[in-house]
Amino acid sequence: MTAQLIDGNALSKQLRAQVAIDAAKLTAQGVKPGLAVVLVGENSASQVYVRNKVKACEEAGFHSVLEKYDATLAETDLLQRVHALNNDASIHGILVQLPLPAHIDAQKVIEAISPAKDVDGFHIASAGALMTGMKGFWPCTPYGCMKMLESIGYSLKGKHAVVMGRSNIVGKPMALMLLQQNATVTICHSGTVNLKDITLQADVIVAAVGKRNVLTADMVKPGAVVLDVGMNRNDEGKLCGDVDFEGVKEVAGYITPVPGGVGPMTITMLLVNTLESAQNALNTTQAI
């Protein structure tokens, strides 16, 4: 193996310890960071994610609220709950777990969340803020990837970063964050021709496609940094990413494993965003 591992568990532990210290300080000043997680329906993966988010909040000393609703919940009722949470001073972050049942317009629900409490960073105001370099919450998974690059002291200036995948949650915001750090950014997707020619030019590759083995050793320039956002299952049912880890680790300079790479960072950045929102709330009350 030539690549060095970027350990998302270790980095998360370090960042979460600091979040807990800062949360205790805020609590002592009268503002306990609070996150509300809303889950609609019985999606089993969502149930696991939500449980992990609530557990992480509790471990960081946050106030956490989990609202679970039946899959038949009406869209208007969900919108009402979001409005109530917008007006709840004990809540600084609102997360509506996706996917939502098909009868609910997910975008409409996301747009109902106050941008000041949009700790997922999915609201169009948050997306617009990221695009224009204004203050706003960054989506947690790409934000976690940026923290991982920071943790190895990697300077993106002048580097070629290739993002595989163009989702609103990972690919597009990831590209904007890399661009903000002065990388030259290429976004690849299902319509990309000659994918390998492009990835072979990359100094940094972020794989966020949602399919196993989309990045193999022959597609990676020696020494490149490879961040694997994928969460898939292999034939034996074991968790794996988008990257052929065994092959790529022999070529890359740095690589994130799955599990234990980007995954834990997503929840860590959710805590970071919620803490920041609580800090903003304290600053606002002090300014009045």
Binding site for ligand GUN (CB under 6 A): 95-98, 120, 140, 266
**Least distance (Å) from ligand GUN to the CB of residue 95?**
5
- Amino acid identity, position 246: E
Catalytic residue among 53, 147, 159, 172: 53
**Is 147 considered catalytic here?**
no
Nearest CA-CA partner of 59 in 26, 109, 13, 101: 13
Nearest CA-CA partner of 238 in 218, 257, 266: 257
CA triplet 114, 229, 12: central angle to 5 degrees?
70
Which residue's CB atom is positioned nearest to ligand GUN? Answer: 98
Catalytic residue among 120, 203, 242, 244: 120
Distances (CA, A) of 29 to 73, 90, 143, 286: 38, 14, 28, 11
The span from the CA of 190 to the CA of 60, in Å, is 39
**Is 203 considered catalytic here?**
no
Nearest CA-CA partner of 5 in 230, 225, 254: 254
The span from the CA of 70 to the CA of 89, in Å, is 26
The token pair at 50 is 């939500």
**Is 120 considered catalytic here?**
yes
Q: Nearer Cβ to ligand GUN, position 108 or 196?
A: 108
The span from the CA of 204 to the CA of 10, in Å, is 21
Q: Nearer Cβ to ligand GUN, position 215 or 265?
A: 265
The span from the CA of 230 to the CA of 277, in Å, is 28
Q: Is 199 helix (H, G, I), strand (E, B) or coil?
A: helix
Q: Nearer Cβ to ligand GUN, position 26 or 112?
A: 112
| H or E element at residue 252 | none
Q: Nearer Cβ to ligand GUN, position 19 or 94?
A: 94
**Least distance (Å) from ligand GUN to the CB of residue 270?**
7
Nearest CA-CA partner of 207 in 259, 153, 162, 151: 162
**Least distance (Å) from ligand GUN to the CB of residue 286?**
30
Q: Nearer Cβ to ligand GUN, position 186 or 273?
A: 273
- Amino acid identity, position 174: M
**Least distance (Å) from ligand GUN to the CB of residue 140?**
6
Q: Nearer Cβ to ligand GUN, position 68 or 221?
A: 68
**Least distance (Å) from ligand GUN to the CB of residue 53?**
9
**Least distance (Å) from ligand GUN to the CB of residue 44?**
13
Catalytic residues: 53, 97, 120
